[in-house]
Structure 1
Amino acid sequence: MNPTRTTDPLGQRYLRFEEREEIMRLQASGLGVRAIAREIGRHPSTVSRELKRAVGVRGYRAGMAQTHADRGRRGPRNAKLATNLRLRREVQARLERHDSPEQIAGRLKIDFPDEPEMWVSAETIYQSLYIQARGGLKRELTAYLRTGRSMRKPRRTPGHRRTRIPDMVMISERPPEIEDRAVPGHWEGDLIMGSTASGSAVGTLVERTTGFVMLLHLPDGYGTLAVQEALVAKMLTLNEQLRRSLTWDQGLEMASHREIAAATGLNIYFCDPRSPWQRGTNENTNGLLRQHLPKGKDLSFYGPGMLDNIAAELNSRPRKRHGFRTPAEMLEEIMAKTAHNQGVA
């Protein structure tokens, strides 16, 4: 069991909202009840009951489950930020100038030393932002946080590790030829996440030599099988010479990497934890894609045709590193050379 946090007034007895969000994410990745329980440090029966708590059209929803849990507890207290309008306006104004909840909580005691009703903890601010059933602050204000996350990142207890994907080949074993971008056909991949409520995502693939982008339509969520099928289908549209390797992070959506490799011929490598710079081309491209696929939106709205149009727009942008030729032109040139060489042979 996880140790009780002193900052959590409910202690160990009740699931926290961030645990519910982790349950939602892990279930979407294809994990079963016992595996999820190991991940969050809870008993399997607790997870089993929780998964039955709030099942909507799209499956288990963390926000819905939290609402049910709050309503079911006896004697719920009114949230301070929901009932104190003056305090709420003060916190909102400070969030909008990009102060962190911790800074706001500390500063309020300095600015209002004799008014305890104007004091609020950082955790209360976070809960008001992320748990809408608590009332008070609008979720849109999360955009002013430094992370900009619409979904709170789960905490992990000391010594707790996420389930390791079997048979991963780490990026340290990737051949040097991939590093210098001289040989085409080496890709970087990731997921762009949609709103928490939608549970949606779009897969992104970027070829390292040309910067050519392909997007994966994931209408049924981003579980392991969904990502596998979309990735294989997209990669098989390419010439074999353009399917050399793929580098991804350690997200559980890639748990079936062996099946993907067998179907496509790709050598698949995994980045080190918390090392997004190891997929620098992909990270940069994801930043550009956010202009078209904004945070907090239901990305299932974007069908395959729309995603292809977005990718085409990026692929038609001139790039300085290519002498202002476009990724599409670079890829076309490579494919023409490949076809010529095969004809000569």
Structure 2
Amino acid sequence: MTEIAKRRLGTDGPWVSPIGVGFMSFRTGASAEDETAARAVVDAALDAGVSFFDTADVYGPEHSEILLGRALKGRRNNATIATKFGNPLDRATNPDPQINGRPEYVRSAIEASLRRLDVDHVDLYYLHRVDPTVAIEETVGALKELVEAGKVRHIGLSEAGPNTIRRANAVHPIAAIQSEWSLFSRDIETSTVPVARELGIALVPYSPLGRAWLTGTVRSRADVKQQLAAHPRFAQENFARNRALADEVAAVATELNARPAQVALAWVLARGTDVVPIPGTRHPDYVCENAGARTVELSEDQANRLAKLADQVAGHRSLRPENIGTEAPTQAPSE
């Protein structure tokens, strides 16, 4: 395993590799073939000094947690595991995406995740999206109980609004905020980032490669993965414009003799030592490529050129904008 400088999640959270691995791609099944692929990714990551793994109960649902747990069997102490809850998993009776931050659901969700991961605790447990019907103090209060019980080491929030972050942190220290952040998505810089830094909370960017736009591999709409086909930034009317912007990232990569993904990740890493991006992949080679971003250094001119891209991107960054930057109610509505 390669030894690398680490970054800390929050003021008293775990020290983790500066780049993690998102496990959302492992959601199509838990077959022997999937298990082999997951183990190959974990092997490549640990060998490259990448020890921070991010999953969620809703990925699959359940398949991602199961596969990560199997891949880490016997190596639990070498990894920092983050998972998420908040989306009920009964797709038969609940086909539309829902959010549940009620304390009783928090308690049942962690037990299920621990079983799937086959561990006795998770290092970081996120509320995946803020429940607009539950006061954040109730949800974080239940999470605090899980910390006290030893089932969760640290607490995180994903795509929470600034006031909700403050209120949550007043109940129990929040170690990390997970939000989309990349050369193509910078809206959190004027909302989430200032609050997180004021409170000493780390930032964990998901989709730091713009859902593959910033890898240089998307040349036509035929290259877009099925699960992304409906995303606004891959829509026919937005495609040519966004590809041209991605080509500018590739041009900088050529100047540096690097890969486009490495340039995109290097830019995110340079936002601060409290930033830990979690690019996702099913391919060991990409894990190693992404890890190489740690040694890529952008010139001031290159960084400035790249910084202008986000203002030109066409299409919203999310399929469900209503769940982005959500502020929890100060009091849950009476039933």
| Shorter-chain TM-score above 0.5 | no
TM-score normalised by the chain length of structure 1: 0.29
Which TM-score applies when normalising by structure 2?
0.29
Q: Give the structure, 1 or 2, with the largest relative contact order (CA under 8 Å, sep 6 or more).
A: 2
Q: Which structure: greater helix fraction? A: 1
